Amino acid sequence: MSADDVIIKGKEAQAAFDQLQASVQGDLTLSMHDDGKVTYKQNGEGKLSSDAQQLANAIDDHSVIVTATAENTKETSSGNLYIGGAFMGNEVTDEKYQGKNIVKASQEVNPEVLNKFSEANGKAGKGMLHEVTEGYQGGLISQGTGISSPRSNIQGSVYPQAHSTATKQPGTVNRRLFNKDGLIITPQYLGNREIFTLTPKRVDYISNGKTIMSYP
C-alpha cells in the first residue's frame, strides 16, 4: 500500500472516487479511506500507463497534498462559473518532507459534469483524473519556485502550466448560446471582446456533440 496524499472530500466524494478508479482501471486498484485519503495497489508487475503513473506519483508524493472537493455545483466556492473542474490554487507551507516544502493544492470538481464529459468522448473517468493531476502538477511548480499560486482566474496563477502538464482531458468543450426564446445567437467580436446584439439567457457546454452542462 502506498502513501496517501490525494484526498477527496465533499458530498459527491464517492462519485469522484469511482470516476478516478475508472480512469486507471486495469493498472491500479484504488481505495478511499474514511478521511478521504486515496491509496492504491498496482495490478500486476508490468509498466503502468502514463496516466496511471502520474496518479501514482501524486499519491506517492508526501510533499504535495492534493485535495479535491466534489460537489455537483456550477460555481466554485469563490463564485466563479466552472465546467466540471476548477484549479483553486495552492499554498507552499513552511513544513518540510525530505527537505522539500510541503504544498497544499486545491481543486473543486463536479462529478456529474465530468462524468458526462468523459462518457461523451468514450474515456471513462479521464475528466476526474485530469483534475487531480492538474492539482498535483501545479503543486510541483509552486514547490519548485517556493511561491504559492492563486486560483486559475487570477494573474500569476500557475494554472496554464499545470493544465498542460496534467493528464489530458477526455476531449474539448464548446459552447452554444441561446436567447430568451431558445434561439441560438452568435456573438461578434471587437478584438478579444464579445459583443452581443441580444443578451444570452442560457449557455450549453458541448463536447463531441453532447451537452455536458447548461448554465444557468
| Residues 122 and 68 occupy one common structural domain | yes
Residue 115 and residue 44 share a domain: yes
Check whether residue 178 and residue 98 sit in a common domain.
no
At residue 1, the pLDDT reads 38
| Per-residue model confidence (pLDDT) at position 57 | 97
Q: What is the pLDDT of residue 81?
A: 96
Kind and range of the H or E run holding 10: none
> Does a structural domain hold residue 1?
no
- Specify whether 126 is located in the same domain as 188: no
For 173-210, the pLDDT digits (tens) are 999 999 998 988 887 777 778 777 777 899 999 999 99
At 63, the amino acid letter reads: S
Compute the distance between CA of residue 179 and CA of residue 177 in angstroms, rounded to an integer: 7
Q: Which three cell numbers stand for residue 162?
A: 499545470
Residue 119, Cα to own-chain centre: how many angstroms?
16
Instruction: Give pLDDT < 50 ranges for the chain.
Output: 1-3
Would you state the pLDDT for residue 3? Answer: 46
Domain limits for position 180: 174-215
> Tell me, what's the pLDDT at 4?
58
Instruction: Say if CB 87 and CB 157 are below 8 A apart.
Output: yes
Helix intervals (H) in the chain: 13-23, 50-60, 111-120, 126-145, 159-165
CATH number at residue 102: 3.40.390
Q: Are 146 and 186 members of one domain? A: no
- Shortest CA distance to 164 belongs to which of 141, 188, 145, 147? 141
What proportions of the chain, in percent to the nearest 5, are helix, strand and coil?
25, 35, 40
In this prediction, residue 191 carries a pLDDT of 78
Do 110 and 26 have their domain in common?
yes
Indicate if 104 and 36 belong to the same structural domain. yes
Domain count, the chain: 2
CA neighbor of 58 nearest in space, from 157, 121, 155, 138: 138
